Structure 1
Amino acid sequence: MRVPGDPVPGRPAGADHAGRARRLFGGRTGAVGDLARSPYRVDRDRIISSPFFARLGGVTQVISPGGSGLLVHNRLTHSLKVAQVGRAIAERLTADDRYADLLDALGGCDPDVVEAAALAHDLGHPPFGHLGEQVLDRVARRRLGLPDGFEGNAQSYRIVTSTEIRGTATIGLDLTAAVRAAILKYPWTRLDHPDPHPRSFDPPPRGAAVPADDPESGSAKFSAYRTEVDDLRQAREPFAGRIADWQQTVEASVMDIADDIAYAIHDVEDFHRVGVLQQGAVAGELLGWQRDAAQLGGLTDAGLTDGRRRPGSAIERLRRQLRRKDAWVYDEDAFAAAVEHVRAELVDGLLAAPFDGSIEAEQYVAGFSARWTRRLVDTISVVEKPPARSGHVLLDVAQWHEVQVLKLVHHRFVLARPDLALHQRGQARLLDTLVEALFAWVLDPEENGRLPQRLRDLVELAETELHPRTADRAVKARARATVDFVAALTDGQAVALMDALSGRSGQLWTDAFVL
C-alpha cells in the first residue's frame, strides 16, 4: 500500500540540476557581492554575509552568552560545527560508490548545499534559544491571534525567503531551490500543507505530532509558515516524485543528523568545561540503571515517576520512551551497550578529572569531541525507503542509541537544574513583557510615526502578505511584525530594549540595538 506522498513509481533517475539551482526570483545570477561561481557557494556566502547570521554570536545555545563567557557554545559556533560535520558526512556519502545511483535518484547530495543549509538552519532562533521559541509561540498564538504562532525553523525559512533585505526589496536571500529545500528539516506547515498533513500519519514523522496538551494547535515542529508555503513548494519541485512530499531531502537529512551530532557532543563538552557535569552524579545515574535495570523495568510508569530521584530512573524513562516512539530502530541490547559506552567515555574518561583550563585538559576535551564525531560520522548510511520517523540518511543502530543517551545526560544534569530554571523563568518574563510593550506601541496611532524603522518595514511586509479581505488584517500584520522584530534580537539586545521600554535605562543613545 502506498503511503500518501510516496515517490511516484517509474520516475526516471537523475537529479533535476537546473531546477535545483533555480532561485526564487526568476533565476537572477551575479548579484552585487556574489564572488563564487558555484550557485551553492553563492548561497553559502550570502548566508554568512547576512546580519542574521552575525547576530547568532549573541544568541543562546543552552546558556545565554552573556552569562557564560567563552566557555560554552552560542548559536553561531553551533552553526559552524553543524556545517563542518554536515559537509564531512556529505563528502563521505558522495565518495561512496555504493550510494551513487541512490543519491542521484533521490535528488542529489551536494556538500556545498549541505554546508549552506547548516549555516542557515538556526537563523530564526530568537533570544534565549528554545526557551524564547516557546515563549514567542505561546504569546503569538494565544495573545496576538496568529494561528501559525512562532517556530524557530519556520522563522529561519521566513528570513531567507522574506524578511532579509537585499538591494531595495524584501526578497530574502534569493537562495537556490536545493539550499532552501535542505533548510526544511520539517517540510510542512503547522496545519494544512501538504494534504494529507503528516500529523495524521500513524506513526507521524518526527516533529509532526501534535502536543498532547494542545491537540488543536497543529504539529509541534514545522519549517514554514503559511506566508511562505509557495516558496516551500517551489523549493521542493525538483524533488517531486523522488522523495515523499513530507520527507526531508537527502541534504536536509544530512544537515539534521549533523545538528544532532554537534548538539549531543558539544553540549557535554560545554558543561564539563564550566563544571556543571559532575562525575559522581553522572556515574550514579548510569551505574544505577546498569545495577538495577530489572527492578526499574518492573515499575509502572507512575511508580517510576514517583521515584524519579532514584539513580537510574531517568535512563529507564528514556528506554521506555525510545521503545514506544522509535520501535523502528530501538533495540534492547543496543540500548544497554550505549549506556555502557557512554559510561566508559564519560565517567571513566572525560569527567574523571575536573576541567582546569590547562593544555592537558583542553587536549583531552578536543580528543573526546574528535573521537565521538568520527565514530558517529563514519557509521552513517543512505536507505531508499526509510521509516516515517527517519530521513533517508541515518546513523547505525548502535550509534543512534549512543546519541540518545548523550542527550539524556544533557537533559538530566543541565536542563533540569533549578539554577538554570530560575534564570530561564526570568528570561521568559522579559520576552513576554517585551512583546506586549512593543505590540502596544505598534497599535498606538499617536506614536506610529516614531516606531523603529525596522519595525515599520516589517509591518509593511506583513501587510503585503495577508489577503486584503482578511479580517483584522492590520492588527494581524502588526502582530506578525512585532514577533519578527523581537525574534531578530540578540539576548543582550532584548535585555537592553526591555530596560529602555520599562524606564530602567538612563542611557538615551546606545549601540545595544539599532532603532
Structure 2
Amino acid sequence: MRNYSERDQERWAPEPPKRRDRTAFERDRARVLHSAALRRLAAKTQVASPGAHAEEHGQSLRTRLTHSLECAQIGRELGKSLGCDPDLVETACLAHDIGHPPFGHNGEAALDVVARDCGGFEGNAQSLRVLTRLEPKSFAPAGPPLYGRSVGLNLTRAALDASMKYPWTPDEAVNGKYGTYLDDLAVARWVRDGAPAGRVCFEAQVMDWSDDVAYSVHDLEDALVAGHVDFDRLADPAERRLVCATARKLYCDDADLDELEERFARLLAEPYWPDRYDGTPRALAALKNLTSTLIGRFCVAAEEATRAAYGDRPLTRYGADLIVPREQRLECALLKGVTAHYVWISHEAVRARQRELIMELAELMLRGAPDTLDPAFRAAFEEAPDDAARLRAVVDQIASLTDTSAIARHKALSGRAG
C-alpha cells in the first residue's frame, strides 16, 4: 500500500475495522470477484453470444467474464511493473465491464435509445452505478449524508477512480463516452474530490490499455477459431485496405489509410504470424503463440515508453500518464478493425434483431411494471419519485440480465402480452 494515502483507501460509507490482515485494495478485489454482477458476465456477449460456441474447433468462445479475467491478468502485471498496487489495478480491470448489458455494445446502443427520457445509457456509467448502488453488499448508516441507502460494494476511492475510464457526465462526454449519470453525481464527486479536472488517474489508464490489448488480441483469436476470419483473406492487399478503412472509421481517425496499410503489412510480416489456421493442435499452439507475443509487444512498448519519460520511480494516481507509442496504438486499432469488419459489420442482421429485442423487452416490462421486475428493481420502481426514475429502474433491470435471460424474459412477457 506504499505510495497510496489514507484518503485513497477511504470508503464512501465508513466501515468498522476488520480483523483479518488484508489491505484495503485486497478487500476491494475480493468484493468484485465475489459479486453476482461479475458472475453474470459469464453469460454476456464478448465476440459472439455465449450460446454460440466453437466446439468443433476444440475451444469455446470468450464471454465478457473471461475477457475481464484476461484483462485483469494483463493489467495486474503491467501495473505492477510500473509501481501501481497490483490488487488495485486488478480490481479496476475486473470491474471495468461490470455494468455492460446483454449483447455487449449492441445492447448498450439499444438501451441508450430506451433510456433517452431518463438521461441515456452508457456501459461505463452503468458500471459505476453497479459498484456504488446496485450490487447488494453494503448499506450506509441511517443518518445523513447517505441515509441508509445502498452503497453497492463500497469500494475505496482509489478503486472506484481506477475503474472510471471516462470520469465525466453526459454533458461533458468525449466522443459520446462518459462515466457517470447525473443520478450518481454525488458518489462521482466524492471519488473525484481533489482530482485534476478531466484527468484520468494512472491506474485507470493502465486498465484502459489492458482492456484494449485483451480484446484486440483475444477477439481476433476467437474470430479465427470461429471461422469468421482466415489468414488467406488478410494476405490480400485489397482486403486489408477494407479492414484498414473499418479500423480508421471506428478506432483511429487520426491516421490515414496509407499509414494504416503500411503498419498492417509490417505487422502481418512478423515471423510469429501463422500461415493458416485449421484447428489442429499445432495450429492452436501457433495461435496461442501469436496472442501471447502480441500482448507482450503491446505491454512492453507501453512500459518502456512510460519508463523512458518518468524513470524508475513508482507511478501512481496522478503522478504520471501512461505512454503508448503510436505504432502500437495503430496496431491495436487494426486488430480491433479485423474483428469489427468480419464479425460485427457482416452480422448486422443478427445485431439488429438483438437491438429490437431489447427495445421490445423494455416496452413489455414498462407496461407490466412493477410486476415484471425482480424484487430489487421492483422496490426502486415503486419508490421512484417520477417517470424518469421509474424508467431508470426498468433500464437497470434489463442491464442486469444476461443474453440468455434477456431472450427468455422477452419470450415469457411476449407470451403473456399475447
Q: How does 1:24-43 map to 2 (within 5 A)?
A: 24-30=12-18, 37-43=22-28
Whether 1:260 and 2:182 are equivalent positions in the alignment is no
> How many residues align structurally?
391
In 2, the alpha carbon distance for the partners of 1:457 and 1:432 equals 22
The aligned counterpart of 2:353 is 426
2:65 to 76, 96, 102: 76
Aligned ranges 1:278-289 → 2 under 5 Å: 278-284=230-236, 287-288=237-238
Which residues in structure 2 correspond to 1:349-498 (within 5 Å)?
349-350=273-274, 352-356=275-279, 358-380=280-302, 381-382=305-306, 392-417=321-346, 420-442=347-369, 448=370, 452-459=374-381, 463=384, 473-498=385-410
Distance 1:263 1:365 in 2: 15
1:165 maps to 2:136: yes
Letter matched to residue 329 of structure 2? W
2:8 matched to which residue of 1? Answer: 20
Residue 36 to residue 255, structure 1, CA distance change in 2 (3 Å) = farther
Amino acid of the residue matched to residue 73 of structure 2?
A: Q
Q: Indicate yes or no: 2:103 matched with 1:131.
A: no
What is the aligned-residue RMSD (CA, Å)?
Answer: 2.8
Query: For the residues of structure 1 that align with 2:105 and 2:205, how far apart are their CA atoms?
Result: 21
Alignment identity in percent? Answer: 33
CA radius of gyration, larger in: 1
- Is it true that 1:110 corresponds to 2:85 in the alignment? yes
1:321 and 1:496 mapped to 2: Cα distance? 32
1:491–1:21 Cα change, 3 Å: same
Contact between 2:32 and 2:38, CA under 8 Å: does it hold in 1? Answer: yes
Paired residue for 1:119?
94
Residues 127, 491 of structure 1: 8 Å contact kept: yes
- Once the two structures are TM-superposed, the CA of residue 337 in structure 1 deviates from its matched residue by 4.7
Within-5 A mapping of 1:33-432: 37-68=22-53, 71-94=60-83, 109-141=84-116, 145-146=117-118, 148-166=119-137, 170-191=150-171, 197=172, 208-209=174-175, 220-237=176-193, 240=195, 244-284=196-236, 287-288=237-238, 312-315=241-244, 318=247, 325-326=253-254, 335=260, 337-345=262-270, 349-350=273-274, 352-356=275-279, 358-380=280-302, 381-382=305-306, 392-417=321-346, 420-432=347-359
Question: Structure 1 or 2: larger helix share?
Answer: 2
SS in 1 for 2:415: coil
Structure 2 unmatched runs, 5+: 140-148, 311-319
d(CA) in 2 for partners of 1:498 and 1:72? Answer: 24
1:118-174 Cα offsets, whole Å, 9 max, x none, are 000101000000000000001110xxx11x211000000000001111156622000
2:241–2:257: 8 Å Cα contact kept in structure 1? no
Post-superposition offset of 1:235: 1.3
| Amino acid corresponding to residue 19 of structure 1 in structure 2 | R
Deviation of the 1:49 alpha carbon? 0.5
| Aligned mates of 2:416, 2:379 — CA distance in 1 | 27
TM-score (norm 1): 0.70
- Residue segments in structure 1 that go unaligned for 5+ positions in a row: 1-13, 95-108, 192-196, 200-207, 210-219, 289-309, 385-390, 443-447, 464-472, 506-515
